[in-house]
Amino acid sequence: MKKKFTAIIFIAAGVIFLGAGGYLLLVNRVFPSGSTVEYRNTQYGFSFSLPASWKGYSIVTDQWQGYIYGQQGDELVQQGPLISIRHPLWTTANPRQDIPVMVFTFAQWDSLQRNEFHIGAAPIGPSELGRNAQYVFALPARYNFAFPTGWEEVQKILEDRPLRAF
């Protein structure tokens, strides 16, 4: 009986250790220890972890726009902030993939989920990155459809869930 109990404890400890190690490997795949850069947005309440290679990034602000189908074509019915984190090597001659973050109020997000308006031509809507007490943060559908330089790096960054709402 004691051997069986010891074996169960040993297996459980191994699973916990390997699980934590797997998590650390996943985090360190893109963000080696001590080599991150953080973008912090206090206006909307979120931060975004980036690899050290993004040190010197810039922020580009714009607006997302939501439409309904009307008799005269699409009619603008909603809009909100679109914050793009731009790689420091981005130039007009050699543009790189931005990391776009759409900001929605809860009312806007709920309305979008009920298909009361649409954003862009994609048959799917934005995907949620996170939320706080006031806003929902989302990634535009097909944000990387043109496959610019750096899209693979951005995809890996996003896989590690770098947005933290506060």
Residue 26 has pLDDT above 70, yes or no: no
Residue 143 pLDDT class (50, 70, 90 cuts): very high
Tell me, what's the pLDDT at 70? 85
Helix (H, G, I), strand (E, B) or coil at 2: helix
Residue type, 150: G
Q: Which residues contact 48 (CB under 8 A, 6 or more apart)?
A: 38, 39, 40, 41, 85, 99, 101, 162, 163, 164
Mark 101-131 as b/e (b = at least 16 C-beta within 10 Å). Answer: bbbbeeebbebbeeeebbbbeeeebbeebbb
Q: Do 130 and 104 sit in the same domain of this protein?
A: yes
Tell me, what's the pLDDT at 123? 85
Number of domains in the chain: 2
Position with higher pLDDT, 33 vs 13: 33
- pTM for the model stands at 0.78
Q: Do 146 and 71 sit in the same domain of this protein?
A: yes
Q: Do 85 and 111 sit in the same domain of this protein?
A: yes
Going edge to edge, which strands form the sheet with 46-51? Answer: 36-41, 46-51, 163-165
Residue 5 pLDDT class (50, 70, 90 cuts): very low
Q: Do 148 and 92 sit in the same domain of this protein?
A: yes
Tell me, what's the pLDDT at 34? 60
Q: Do 3 and 72 sit in the same domain of this protein?
A: no
Q: Which residue range forms the structural domain that includes residue 150?
A: 35-165
153, exposed or middle or buried, with CB in 10 Å at 0-12, 13-18, 19+? Answer: middle
Residue 40 has pLDDT above 50, yes or no: yes
Tell me, what's the pLDDT at 98? 97
The percent of residues in the chain predicted with pLDDT above 90, rounded, is: 71
Residue 90 pLDDT class (50, 70, 90 cuts): very high
Q: Do 23 and 50 sit in the same domain of this protein?
A: no
Tell me, what's the pLDDT at 59? 98
The percent of residues in the chain predicted with pLDDT above 70, rounded, is: 80
